[in-house]
Amino acid sequence: MIYLDTSVVLAQLLAEDHRPPASLWDEALVASRLMEYEVWTRLHARGLAESHGEAASGLIGRVALLELSPPVLARALDAFPVSVRTLDALHLASCDYLRNQGQSVSLASYDHRMTTAARALAMPVYDLEPS
């Protein structure tokens, strides 16, 4: 299972310099419900909700969304082995929650701080470089 950080979804939607490989979208994908809010907030902030809304809904619809449940929120309150930002802590706590439930999960992110924190937690990181 691949845990999607918001940076991956935005890279796909906004056709940024780096885009995830097409094969990623054939994987079992999961993300925090937070990702949905981050994507829509960014689209609204850039005035792209109308032009990119359908594509955003389609991508988000392909992802199983994990709610910010009390165990996830409690984990986000705990210390991390490296300094993390608030929203990153919520994403990492979501990913960690899945691992603690016995799921095999890798983090996909273009955010170097997120991948550094994931590695510090001994969490596998999905290779986003095209082969």
Name the residue range of residue 58's domain. Answer: 2-120
114 is a domain residue = yes
Q: What is the pLDDT of residues 61-70, one digit of tens each?
A: 999 999 999 9
pTM for the whole structure: 0.93
Residue 101 maps to which CATH number?
A: 3.40.50.1010
Q: Is residue 52 part of a domain?
A: yes
Comparing C-alpha atoms, which of 106, 113, 66, 110 is closest to residue 89?
Answer: 113
Whether 27 maps to a domain, the answer reads: yes
Whether the predicted pLDDT of 119 surpasses 80: yes
Total structural domains within the chain:
1
pLDDT(114) > 80: yes
CB atoms within 10 A of CB 6: 24
Looking at residues 83-106, what average pLDDT do you find?
Answer: 96
In a domain, 127, yes or no: no
Whether 126 is in a domain gets the answer no
Q: In which band, very low, low, confident or very high, does the pLDDT at 17 lie, cut at 50, 70 and 90? A: confident
